[in-house]
């Protein structure tokens, strides 16, 4: 057996202990990357009853709207259409509550897009 292999077990503890004497300083605040704060949740800037995922309103629909036009509420659309929607998709987006209301008409489909309980646009196909 070579002499280096015989000395190796005796040197390992010394090499290991040599590394223990090194002191590490904690990082300075400038070295720590700050975590950006979460943006605040968008305020619920809508009023009145809203549609649930099942297409039912949470309360009585207002009677103010007389036509389907931008700015009317979700339940006002259902009242003006005179029947429940074919499908409703409710979610949260950058602007707040976002709802897609689908009416499957004979020969065409109408998709009503709401932001915070206000009709934003209509897509007809």
So where are the chain's domains?
A: 45-125
CB 74 within 8 A of CB 101: yes
For 121, the 3-state DSSP assignment is strand
Q: How does pLDDT run along the chain (125 residues), one tens digit per residue?
A: 555 555 556 655 665 555 555 667 776 766 666 667 766 555 556 678 999 999 999 999 888 889 999 999 999 999 999 999 999 999 998 889 999 999 998 889 999 999 999 999 999 98
122 secondary structure, DSSP code? E
Q: What pTM does this model have?
A: 0.63
> Distance between CA atoms of 103 and 122, rounded to whole angstroms?
11
Protein fold of 45-125: Beta-lactamase Inhibitory Protein; Chain:B, domain 1 (3.30.1450)
């Amino acid at each position: 057996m070579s002499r280096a292999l015989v000395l190796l077990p005796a040197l390992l503890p010394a090499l290991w202990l040599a590394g223990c004497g090194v002191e590490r300083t904690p990082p300075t605040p400038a070295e720590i990357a700050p975590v950006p704060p979460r943006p605040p949740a968008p305020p619920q800037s809508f009023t009145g009853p809203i549609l649930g995922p099942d297409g039912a309103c949470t309360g009585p629909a207002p009677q103010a709207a007389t036509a389907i036009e931008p700015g009317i509420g979700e339940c006002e659309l259902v009242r003006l259409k005179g029947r429940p929607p074919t499908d409703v998709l409710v979610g949260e987006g950058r602007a707040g509550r976002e709802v897609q209301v689908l009416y499957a008409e004979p020969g065409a489909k109408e998709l009503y897009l709401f932001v915070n309980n206000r009709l934003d646009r209509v897509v007809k196909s």
